[in-house]
Amino acid sequence: MSFITRFAPSPTGFLHLGHAYSAILAHDAARAAGGEFLLRIEDIDAARCRPEFETAIHDDLAWLGLRWPTPVRRQSEHLAAYAAVLERLNTLGVVYRCFLTRKEIVALSLSAPHTPGEGSDGVVYAGPVQHMSADEEEDRISRGEPFAWRLSIRYSQDLLGEDFARLGFVERDEGSNTEHMVTARPALLGDVILGRKDTPTSYHLSVTHDDALQGVTHVIRGEDLRASTHVHVLLQRLLGLPTPVYMHHHLLTGPDGKRYAKRDQSLTLAALRQAGAYPAEIRARIGLPA
């Protein structure tokens, strides 16, 4: 069986020990399976991504002893491909333009009686009760109003019929490597954003497209992205793409008991490297074998 996995960071800060854990776990899993480990740069958020963070990603991972094939895919170079995917979803009738402001969405999501989870941006929008008329939409577009393209769970359900309830994926447990089936619940995050007026993609869209394009068979990433997987499985079904095996690993916590975050400058790999740490010490510190 082929085994292709990847580490897909966004260059919006320096990598920390939590990233090292994720990257090494994926790298070692590929090595153990005789498979391939890819690096992908998820840099679609032009306002937050910086070249020095991207350089540091390469330097830190190479310092840790990881190797990957080149050229490395950089998502910012493939916006036309993502736009085509968004157009396809539009043709299928499963996306819509949402003109609500973030404030309005927050107000709506708070008043939702059964908010089942938390959206990637912290809010879950269950979608409009009634869709906008073509006239109103035309009018708002011509007035230049900003909007987000959202994936409609309701329309997806209508399109897929009984298949919607049968969506699922194989989850591999961290540690034991045993696998089990998980029923997908794409509504967990509500109607997520797949693009914006001036950006033809979002994390959910580009990650799903790229994992399929790059032949990724195993996605290994933190459990903070577990709910997103349910959305990705729906997108795969809508787009006719294969569903990889998923492993959501636990998130590392620092000495203060809190999750490592990009704001913890002292615990970045770059800082540890410059302070004279050895890669073997990093592995030991995050509980991974040498």
Give the active site residues: 262
State which of residues 79, 182, 225, 271 lies at the interface with ligand GLU (CB under 6 A).
225
Between 165 and 204, how does the x/- string for binding to ligand GLU read (CB under 6 A)? ----------------------------------------
Rank residues 8 and 124 by Cβ distance to ligand GLU and give the closer one: 8
Of the ranges 3-11, 46-54, 106-114, 156-164, which one interacts with ligand GLU (CB under 6 A)? 3-11
Is there binding between residue 5 and ligand GLU (CB under 6 A)? no
Is there binding between residue 11 and ligand GLU (CB under 6 A)? no
Is there binding between residue 221 and ligand GLU (CB under 6 A)? yes
Q: Which residue has the tokens 């989850």?
A: 171
In angstroms, what is the minimal distance from the CB of 175 to ligand GLU?
A: 19
Intra-chain end-to-end CA distance of the chain, in Å: 26
Rank residues 152 and 202 by Cβ distance to ligand GLU and give the closer one: 202
Q: Which of residues 130-159 bind ligand GLU (CB under 6 A)?
A: none
Q: How many CB atoms lie within 10 A of CB 113?
A: 5
Is there binding between residue 230 and ligand GLU (CB under 6 A)? no
Is there binding between residue 42 and ligand GLU (CB under 6 A)? yes
State which of residues 10, 152, 156, 236 lies at the interface with ligand GLU (CB under 6 A).
10
Is there binding between residue 206 and ligand GLU (CB under 6 A)? no
Rank residues 18 and 190 by Cβ distance to ligand GLU and give the closer one: 18
Q: SS3 letters for the chain?
A: CCCEEEECCCCCCCCEHHHHHHHHHHHHHHHHHCCEEEEEECCCCCCCCCHHHHHHHHHHHHHCCCCCCCCCEEHHHHHHHHHHHHHHHHHHCCEEEECCCHHHHHHHHHHCCCCCCCCCCCCCECCCCCCCCHHHHHHHHHCCCCCEEEECHHHHHHHHCHHHHCCEEEEECCCCCCEEEEECCHHHHECCEEEECCECCCHHHHHHHHHHHCCCCEEEEEHHHHHHHHHHHHHHHHHCCCCCEEEEECCCECCCCCECCCCCHHHEHHHHHHCCCCHHHHHHHCCCCC
In angstroms, what is the minimal distance from the CB of 12 to ligand GLU?
A: 8
Rounded Cα–Cα distance for residues 96 and 150 (Å): 6
Is there binding between residue 8 and ligand GLU (CB under 6 A)? yes
Q: How many residues bind ligand GLU (CB under 6 A)?
A: 7
Is there binding between residue 207 and ligand GLU (CB under 6 A)? yes
In angstroms, what is the minimal distance from the CB of 155 to ligand GLU?
A: 25
Q: Which residues bind ligand GLU (CB under 6 A)?
A: 8-10, 42, 207, 221, 225
